[in-house]
């Protein structure tokens, strides 16, 4: 957190408008918990399948359903915030996420875990759409890349700290104990959000977020949203199933997972921060995304090469996460280059589109993991990432303001 604070203060001194420090702090923490409620399941898919007496493909349906729930709720976050205010949405969503993780820990049947995952996904979508919209309204265009980079970085910390810590703790308390711990931490973040996010801001409680969905969805925005879907499918297959890949293909145990997972996720977090800084310093954000997405595709293909050992696979995953993380801030900044009255709606719809990508990655990845078709997974992820680069090249240029 100290590094984040120093970065924020440095940017603040160089801009007339100060960044909202409290909002970014609790927003990053909330994004961490929003990511953790789903990502911390990834090391335990095999254990959950045995405990709940279901196939791992069935669990992939749970992950996909959770992504659908995220998309459904985030799609309507803008209109909901206009009526209810973002502060209430932020706090309420975190409370529901905490309750659903506790419910998952107590569940005795698959349908109960599925229900908790769906309700938690609905709350997660509301939270992410609200926090992206709030930060997008509170910062200037010249700061938006870094601000979004810090929020995305909070979600990446779910990989950096959440997944390795969960796999280590889970070796002692199991997946149920991990779910209970994640729920308790989410409740603490909800309390901090209630204290630090106050009314009187641009659109926090005043109902000033307006702009219909139809007005927000111009041709340029639709192209960028399509690219967001392809990026999330590519990232989701690696982020969700990399731990399972290490267990099945390289025979790592739960106790051996934290070190490689932390190293790989650290590169994702670093990529988010570097991507945010570069985004605010280059004139052509589309070109930046295209380069990062093309590199991501190349590394996705290399990641699952069957001839590589564990060290080479982890190294390739590190580079994949670094360049993929760098691609996210310019994409969010491009989506933020819309009139203020529809910005929150666009960013909320982007979360919905990203959830479509997560759903597709969970379903496709689940089938490929069940067949242990790792090379096919690499080809699929690479192709989707390159399609996203082409989409931004064709129609994702800077907005005319």
Provide CB contacts within 8 A for 360, sequence distance 6+: 64, 229, 233, 236
Reported confidence tier of residue 230, pLDDT bands at 50, 70, 90: very high
151-202 pLDDT, tens digit each? 777 777 776 677 778 878 888 888 899 999 999 999 999 998 888 876 544 4
pLDDT of residue 203 exceeding 60:
no
Please state the rounded mean pLDDT for residues 75-86.
72
238-247 pLDDT, tens digit each? 887 888 888 8
CATH fold of 18-395 reads Growth Hormone; Chain: A; (1.20.1250)
pLDDT of residue 14 exceeding 50:
no
Q: Could you tell me the CA-to-CA distances from 186 to 30, 142, 191 in Å, in that order?
A: 8, 31, 9
Please state the rounded mean pLDDT for residues 106-124.
90
Q: Could you tell me the CA-to-CA distances from 255 to 86, 167, 170 in Å, in that order?
A: 40, 7, 9
Please state the rounded mean pLDDT for residues 75-82.
71
Supply angle C-alpha 209, 215, 220, rounded to 5: 115
Give the per-residue pLDDT at 199: 56
The residue among 205, 154, 201, 125 whose CA lies nearest residue 24 is 154
pTM: predicted TM-score of the whole model, two decimal places: 0.68
DSSP assignment of 283-309: S-HHHHHHHHHHHHHHHHHHHT-TT--
Q: Are 120 and 97 in contact (CB under 8 A)?
A: yes
Q: How do the domains of the chain map onto residue ranges? A: 18-395
Q: Measured in whole angstroms, how far is the alpha carbon of residue 346 from the centre of its chain?
A: 16
Reported confidence tier of residue 20, pLDDT bands at 50, 70, 90: low
Q: Between helices 374-395 and 285-303, what is the axis angle to 10°?
A: 170
**Which of 63-72, 123-132, 223-232 bottoms out in mean pLDDT, i.e. has the lowest?**
63-72
Reported confidence tier of residue 6, pLDDT bands at 50, 70, 90: very low
Percent of the chain with pLDDT over 70: 85
């Amino acid at each position: 957190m100290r590094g984040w604070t120093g970065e924020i203060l440095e940017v603040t001194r160089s801009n007339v408008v100060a960044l909202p420090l409290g909002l970014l702090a609790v927003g990053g923490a909330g994004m961490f918990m929003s990511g953790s409620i789903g990502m911390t399941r990834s090391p335990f898919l095999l254990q959950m399948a045995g405990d709940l007496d279901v196939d791992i493909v069935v669990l992939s349906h749970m992950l996909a359903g959770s992504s659908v729930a995220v998309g459904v709720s985030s799609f309507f976050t803008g209109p909901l915030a206009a009526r209810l205010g973002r502060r209430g949405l932020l706090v309420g969503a975190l409370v529901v996420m905490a309750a659903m993780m506790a419910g998952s820990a107590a569940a005795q049947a698959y349908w109960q875990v599925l229900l908790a995952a769906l309700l938690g996904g609905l709350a997660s979508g509301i939270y992410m759409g609200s926090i992206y919209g709030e930060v997008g309204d509170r910062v200037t265009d010249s700061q938006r890349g870094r601000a979004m980079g810090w929020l995305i970085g909070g979600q990446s910390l779910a990989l950096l700290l959440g997944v390795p810590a969960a796999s280590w703790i889970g070796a002692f308390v199991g997946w149920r104990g991990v779910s209970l711990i994640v729920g308790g931490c989410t409740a603490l973040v909800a309390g901090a959000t209630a204290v630090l996010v106050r009314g009187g801001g641009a659109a926090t409680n005043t109902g000033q977020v307006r702009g219909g969905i139809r007005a927000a969805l111009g041709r340029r925005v639709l192209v960028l949203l399509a690219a967001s879907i392809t990026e999330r499918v590519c990232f989701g297959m690696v982020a969700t199933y990399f731990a399972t890949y290490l267990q099945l293909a390289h025979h790592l145990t739960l106790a051996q997972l934290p070190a490689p997972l932390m190293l790989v996720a650290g590169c994702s977090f670093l990529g988010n921060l570097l991507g945010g800084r570069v985004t605010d310093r280059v004139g052509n954000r589309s070109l930046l995304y295209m380069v990062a997405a093309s590199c991501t595709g190349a590394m996705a293909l290399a990641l699952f090469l069957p001839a590589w050992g564990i060290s080479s696979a982890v190294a390739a995953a590190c580079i994949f996460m670094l360049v993929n993380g760098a691609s996210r801030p310019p994409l969010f900044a491009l989506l933020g280059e819309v009139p203020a009255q529809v910005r929150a709606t666009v960013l909320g719809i982007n979360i919905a589109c990203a959830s479509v990508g997560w759903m597709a990655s969970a379903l496709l990845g689940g089938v490929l993991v069940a067949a242990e078709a790792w090379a096919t997974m690499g080809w699929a992820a690479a192709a989707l990432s390159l399609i996203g680069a082409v989409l931004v090249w064709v129609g994702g240029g800077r907005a005319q303001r």
